[in-house]
């Protein structure tokens, strides 16, 4: 994994701001639909990227394509079923990114088919938005606290998993940050099979459209 050039990093900015906004707003909105108004009161159900930005997560996304946003705080006590509610709320972020990636893939398909855009920079910006949405979803599906994948496990894990989660959440954060900044090749090796599956899924969906 090589670092992108300056122009590519700059062209990633619109896509990554959109990706983190969609991701976190989806968490907040799904929590709100389940009876938890905490995300709404904190102003997190919005596509405005400012409330969602975590500066180190943004830097990681710009440099490596893997990163994070400021987590949306929720109160599972407000859910009718806290265990299921936490799992569904966690799943909403990656799903929102995958749906966004499908939308960008379709835009790129029609732009290419009908030569709608000739500006190279706009094309790269669209391509980066597509990739960032996929990789943000993939990264967050890792079953390592505090990522969404670890919370999705609530749907299937026994109750004692919660004790494990609370104990290792901080350790998980340290491990993830260390991997992103000091061992991106290792992280890429782990995530590429998941990314390949999602890219293949998106390709199948896009081919359904004329």
* Secondary structure element (H or E) that encloses residue 26, with its range: helix 6-33
Closest by CA to 97, choosing from 149, 22, 31, 30, is 22
In sequence order, the 6+-apart residues with CB closer than 8 A to the CB of 20 are 49, 52, 53, 57, 58, 61, 68, 69, 136
Q: Cis omega (within 30 of 0) on the bond before 6?
A: no
Cα angle: 101, vertex 105, 109; to 5 degrees: 170
Of the listed 12, 15, 24, 128, which one is catalytic? 24
The verdict on whether 163 is a catalytic residue reads: no
Catalytic residues: 24
């Amino acid at each position: 994994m090589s670092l992108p050039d300056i122009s590519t990093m700059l062209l990633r900015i619109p896509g990554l701001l959109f990706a983190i906004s969609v991701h976190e707003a989806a968490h907040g909105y799904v929590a709100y639909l389940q009876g938890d108004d905490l995300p709404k009161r904190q102003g997190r159900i919005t596509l405005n990227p400012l409330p969602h930005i975590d500066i180190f997560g943004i830097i990681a996304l710009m440099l490596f394509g893997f990163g994070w946003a400021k987590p949306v705080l929720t109160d599972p006590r407000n859910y009718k079923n806290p265990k299921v509610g936490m799992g569904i709320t966690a799943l909403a972020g990656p799903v929102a990114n995958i749906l966004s990636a499908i939308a960008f893939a379709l835009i790129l398909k029609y732009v290419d088919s009908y030569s709608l855009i000739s500006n190279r920079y706009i094309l790269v910006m669209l391509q980066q938005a597509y990739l960032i949405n996929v990789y943000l979803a993939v990264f967050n599906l890792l079953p390592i606290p505090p990522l969404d994948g670890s919370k999705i496990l609530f749907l299937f894990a026994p109750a004692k998993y919660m004790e494990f989660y609370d104990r290792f959440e901080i350790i998980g954060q340290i491990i993830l940050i260390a991997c992103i900044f000091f061992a991106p090749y290792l992280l890429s090796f782990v995530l590429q099979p998941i990314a390949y599956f999602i890219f293949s899924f998106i390709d199948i969906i896009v081919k359904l459209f004329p």
